[in-house]
Protein backbone atom coordinates (compact mmCIF):
# COMPACT_ATOMS: atom_id res chain seq x y z
CA UNK A 1 0.00 0.00 0.00
CA UNK A 2 1.39 3.40 -0.95
CA UNK A 3 1.12 6.26 1.48
CA UNK A 4 -0.73 9.36 0.33
CA UNK A 5 0.93 12.77 0.69
CA UNK A 6 0.74 14.65 4.00
CA UNK A 7 -0.55 17.78 2.26
CA UNK A 8 -2.85 18.42 -0.66
CA UNK A 9 -2.20 21.53 -2.69
CA UNK A 10 -5.44 23.21 -3.77
CA UNK A 11 -3.91 26.27 -5.36
CA UNK A 12 -0.39 26.00 -6.77
CA UNK A 13 1.33 29.16 -7.90
CA UNK A 14 4.56 29.55 -9.87
CA UNK A 15 5.83 32.15 -7.38
CA UNK A 16 3.63 32.22 -4.29
CA UNK A 17 3.95 35.19 -1.98
CA UNK A 18 2.63 33.15 0.97
CA UNK A 19 1.92 29.48 1.56
CA UNK A 20 -1.09 28.83 3.78
CA UNK A 21 -1.00 25.46 5.59
CA UNK A 22 -4.42 24.48 7.00
CA UNK A 23 -5.09 21.87 9.69
CA UNK A 24 -8.62 20.46 10.13
CA UNK A 25 -10.92 19.95 13.10
CA UNK A 26 -11.50 16.46 14.52
CA UNK A 27 -12.95 14.24 11.82
CA UNK A 28 -12.17 16.77 9.09
CA UNK A 29 -10.06 16.10 6.02
CA UNK A 30 -7.98 18.27 3.70
CA UNK A 31 -11.02 18.51 1.41
CA UNK A 32 -12.73 20.98 3.77
CA UNK A 33 -10.21 23.63 2.68
CA UNK A 34 -10.93 23.36 -1.06
CA UNK A 35 -13.61 26.04 -0.77
CA UNK A 36 -11.05 28.56 0.48
CA UNK A 37 -9.44 28.89 -2.96
CA UNK A 38 -11.68 31.69 -4.22
CA UNK A 39 -11.49 33.67 -0.97
CA UNK A 40 -7.71 33.79 -0.62
CA UNK A 41 -5.82 36.98 -1.42
CA UNK A 42 -3.84 37.03 -4.64
CA UNK A 43 -0.44 35.40 -4.18
CA UNK A 44 -1.55 32.88 -1.53
CA UNK A 45 -0.92 29.19 -2.16
CA UNK A 46 -3.21 26.77 -0.28
CA UNK A 47 -2.14 23.48 1.33
CA UNK A 48 -4.51 21.27 3.38
CA UNK A 49 -3.20 18.70 5.87
CA UNK A 50 -4.04 15.20 4.69
CA UNK A 51 -4.18 13.11 7.86
CA UNK A 52 -4.09 9.29 8.03
CA UNK A 53 -7.57 7.84 8.51
CA UNK A 54 -9.26 10.84 6.85
CA UNK A 55 -10.36 11.68 3.31
CA UNK A 56 -8.08 10.15 0.67
CA UNK A 57 -6.17 8.38 3.47
CA UNK A 58 -9.24 6.72 5.02
CA UNK A 59 -7.67 3.24 4.58
CA UNK A 60 -4.65 4.15 6.71
CA UNK A 61 -4.84 3.84 10.50
CA UNK A 62 -5.46 7.20 12.19
CA UNK A 63 -2.74 8.52 14.50
CA UNK A 64 -3.29 8.95 18.23
CA UNK A 65 0.04 10.55 19.16
CA UNK A 66 -0.14 14.34 18.75
CA UNK A 67 3.64 14.83 18.73
CA UNK A 68 4.25 12.04 16.20
CA UNK A 69 1.55 13.51 13.95
CA UNK A 70 2.99 17.03 14.31
CA UNK A 71 6.48 15.67 13.59
CA UNK A 72 5.34 13.94 10.39
CA UNK A 73 3.52 17.06 9.20
CA UNK A 74 6.48 19.32 10.03
CA UNK A 75 8.84 17.00 8.14
CA UNK A 76 6.54 17.09 5.11
CA UNK A 77 6.50 20.91 5.24
CA UNK A 78 10.28 21.38 5.28
CA UNK A 79 10.74 21.26 1.48
CA UNK A 80 7.92 23.81 1.09
CA UNK A 81 9.10 26.42 3.60
CA UNK A 82 12.65 27.11 2.52
CA UNK A 83 12.26 30.62 1.05
CA UNK A 84 8.55 31.30 0.81
CA UNK A 85 6.83 33.01 3.75
CA UNK A 86 4.13 30.81 5.25
CA UNK A 87 1.20 30.85 7.66
CA UNK A 88 -0.14 28.01 9.80
CA UNK A 89 -3.90 27.95 10.41
CA UNK A 90 -5.62 25.33 12.52
CA UNK A 91 -9.21 24.98 13.64
CA UNK A 92 -10.12 23.14 16.88
CA UNK A 93 -7.98 19.96 16.87
CA UNK A 94 -6.07 21.50 13.96
CA UNK A 95 -5.20 24.44 16.21
CA UNK A 96 -3.31 22.07 18.51
CA UNK A 97 -1.49 20.59 15.51
CA UNK A 98 -0.53 24.00 14.11
CA UNK A 99 0.74 25.11 17.54
CA UNK A 100 2.86 21.99 18.03
CA UNK A 101 4.25 22.24 14.49
CA UNK A 102 5.32 25.84 15.15
CA UNK A 103 7.06 24.69 18.35
CA UNK A 104 8.84 21.86 16.48
CA UNK A 105 10.04 24.23 13.76
CA UNK A 106 11.41 26.62 16.40
CA UNK A 107 13.20 23.84 18.30
CA UNK A 108 14.81 22.63 15.07
CA UNK A 109 15.90 26.13 14.01
CA UNK A 110 13.80 25.88 10.85
CA UNK A 111 11.96 28.78 9.21
CA UNK A 112 9.08 30.05 11.33
CA UNK A 113 5.61 31.00 10.13
CA UNK A 114 4.79 34.65 9.57
CA UNK A 115 1.66 33.96 11.57
CA UNK A 116 0.13 31.18 13.60
CA UNK A 117 -3.65 31.42 13.42
CA UNK A 118 -5.70 29.23 15.73
CA UNK A 119 -9.48 29.15 15.96
CA UNK A 120 -12.00 27.29 18.13
CA UNK A 121 -9.41 26.34 20.73
CA UNK A 122 -8.40 27.80 24.07
CA UNK A 123 -4.85 29.00 24.60
CA UNK A 124 -2.53 26.19 25.77
CA UNK A 125 -1.97 27.72 29.21
CA UNK A 126 -5.71 27.84 30.03
CA UNK A 127 -7.34 25.00 31.95
CA UNK A 128 -9.21 22.56 29.74
CA UNK A 129 -12.33 20.64 30.51
CA UNK A 130 -11.50 17.47 28.65
CA UNK A 131 -14.27 14.99 28.19
CA UNK A 132 -13.03 11.53 27.34
CA UNK A 133 -15.49 11.07 24.46
CA UNK A 134 -13.04 8.77 22.73
CA UNK A 135 -13.79 6.15 25.41
CA UNK A 136 -17.56 6.10 24.77
CA UNK A 137 -19.20 3.19 22.96
CA UNK A 138 -19.91 3.97 19.30
CA UNK A 139 -23.62 4.67 19.80
CA UNK A 140 -23.01 7.06 22.71
CA UNK A 141 -20.13 8.77 20.91
CA UNK A 142 -22.28 9.33 17.83
CA UNK A 143 -25.09 10.75 20.02
CA UNK A 144 -22.71 13.13 21.84
CA UNK A 145 -21.19 14.31 18.57
CA UNK A 146 -24.63 14.91 17.11
CA UNK A 147 -25.78 16.76 20.23
CA UNK A 148 -22.82 19.16 19.83
CA UNK A 149 -23.36 19.67 16.07
CA UNK A 150 -20.39 17.47 15.19
CA UNK A 151 -22.34 14.80 13.34
CA UNK A 152 -25.36 15.21 11.04
CA UNK A 153 -28.56 13.40 12.04
CA UNK A 154 -28.60 11.55 8.71
CA UNK A 155 -25.32 9.86 9.58
CA UNK A 156 -26.83 8.27 12.69
CA UNK A 157 -29.03 6.18 10.37
CA UNK A 158 -26.05 4.94 8.32
CA UNK A 159 -24.25 2.34 10.48
CA UNK A 160 -21.77 1.31 7.75
CA UNK A 161 -20.69 4.88 7.07
CA UNK A 162 -20.58 5.63 10.78
CA UNK A 163 -18.35 2.56 11.32
CA UNK A 164 -16.00 3.93 8.65
CA UNK A 165 -15.80 7.42 10.18
CA UNK A 166 -15.77 6.73 13.92
CA UNK A 167 -12.22 5.30 14.21
CA UNK A 168 -10.68 8.53 12.83
CA UNK A 169 -13.02 10.69 14.90
CA UNK A 170 -12.17 8.69 18.03
CA UNK A 171 -8.42 9.04 17.31
CA UNK A 172 -8.82 12.79 16.75
CA UNK A 173 -10.70 13.19 20.02
CA UNK A 174 -7.94 11.28 21.79
CA UNK A 175 -5.36 13.70 20.33
Active-site residue numbers?
92
**Sign of the C-alpha dihedral, residues 153, 155, 156, 157?**
positive
Q: Which of 47, 46, 55 is nearest to 4 (CA)?
A: 55
Give me the residues paired with residue 18 across strands: 44
Give me the residues paired with residue 116 across strands: 88
- The CA-atom distances, in angstroms, between 88 and each of 41, 108, 161 are 15, 17, 31
Amino acid sequence: MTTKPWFINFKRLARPEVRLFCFPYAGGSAAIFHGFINDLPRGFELWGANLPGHGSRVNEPPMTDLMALADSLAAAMVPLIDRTPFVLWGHSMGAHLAFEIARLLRRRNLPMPQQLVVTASPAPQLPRHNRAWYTLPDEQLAAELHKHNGLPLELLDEPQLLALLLPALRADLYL
